[in-house]
């Protein structure tokens, strides 16, 4: 009889965990693998939490769940081998009234290209802070590293993204904007 009471307590505690954190885990998965697979990833995360119930932190389980989710997502991406297509779907375009659609598309393409040029670790570090809104301490737990190590990773990832965006800007510049570049006007060449 005593074992049955423990099981009932565990069942209720698990239901509470599920109710409280399912949406966050689902959103985490959705941003990484898209809506079609996000439910499967979230279900796998909670299945692992059920199986490893003794290791789930009781006070702040969300970083632990994200860490498990990260592993599930990585396994899925490896098995599907659709890296770049999935990463492009991660970018969420926010409607901004008054902006030209061509400008929005060009800006999105620039960001997607810069994002794809980053390594997997850089993308994950930026996503944990930017999309999941985790603090440095929680994000470090997800990545399985110390707070100083995560802080250094975040700094480097931001710098790499900034450099990638700067390279995109340079690649997209119009040579007519540079006064030192000769431009053909009719049959003659002049500096503009």
41 compared with 81, residue with greater pLDDT:
41
- The arithmetic mean of pLDDT across residues 82-104, rounded, is 51
The number of distinct structural domains making up the chain is 2
**107 and 40 in one domain?**
no
Q: What is the mean pLDDT of residues 149-167?
A: 89
Say if residue 1 is in the same domain as residue 72.
Answer: yes
Other C-beta atoms lying within 10 Å of the C-beta of residue 121: 12
Average pLDDT over residues 133-142: 89
Which has the higher per-residue pLDDT, 77 or 63? 63
Residues 123 and 161 occupy one common structural domain: yes
Its domain, for residue 46, covers 1-90
Higher pLDDT, 132 or 7: 132
Helix%, strand%, coil% for the chain, nearest 5: 75, 5, 20
Residue 88 has pLDDT above 60, yes or no: no
Quote the tokens at residue 147: 């707070």
Over residues 2-30, the mean pLDDT reads 85
Q: pTM, whole model, 2 decimals?
A: 0.56
- Confidence band of 31 (pLDDT split at 50, 70, 90): very high
Question: Is residue 61 over pLDDT 80?
Answer: yes
């Amino acid at each position: 009889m005593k074992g049955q009471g423990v099981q009932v307590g565990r069942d209720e505690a698990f239901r509470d965990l599920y109710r409280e954190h399912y949406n966050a885990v689902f959103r985490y998965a959705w941003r990484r693998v898209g809506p079609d697979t996000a439910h499967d990833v979230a279900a796998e995360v909670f299945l692992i939490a059920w199986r490893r119930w003794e290791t789930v932190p009781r006070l702040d389980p969300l970083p632990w769940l994200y860490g498990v989710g990260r592993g599930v997502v990585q396994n899925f991406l490896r098995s599907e081998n659709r890296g770049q297509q999935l990463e492009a779907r991660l970018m969420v375009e926010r409607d901004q009234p008054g902006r030209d659609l061509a400008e929005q598309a060009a800006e999105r393409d620039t960001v997607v290209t810069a994002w794809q040029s980053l390594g997997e670790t850089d993308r994950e570090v930026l996503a944990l802070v930017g999309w999941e809104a985790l603090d440095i301490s929680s994000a470090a737990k997800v990545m399985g590293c110390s707070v100083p190590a995560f802080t250094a990773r975040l700094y480097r990832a931001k710098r790499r993204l900034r450099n990638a965006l700067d390279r995109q800007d340079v690649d997209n510049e119009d040579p007519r904007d540079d006064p030192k570049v000769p431009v053909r006007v009719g049959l003659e060449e002049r500096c503009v």
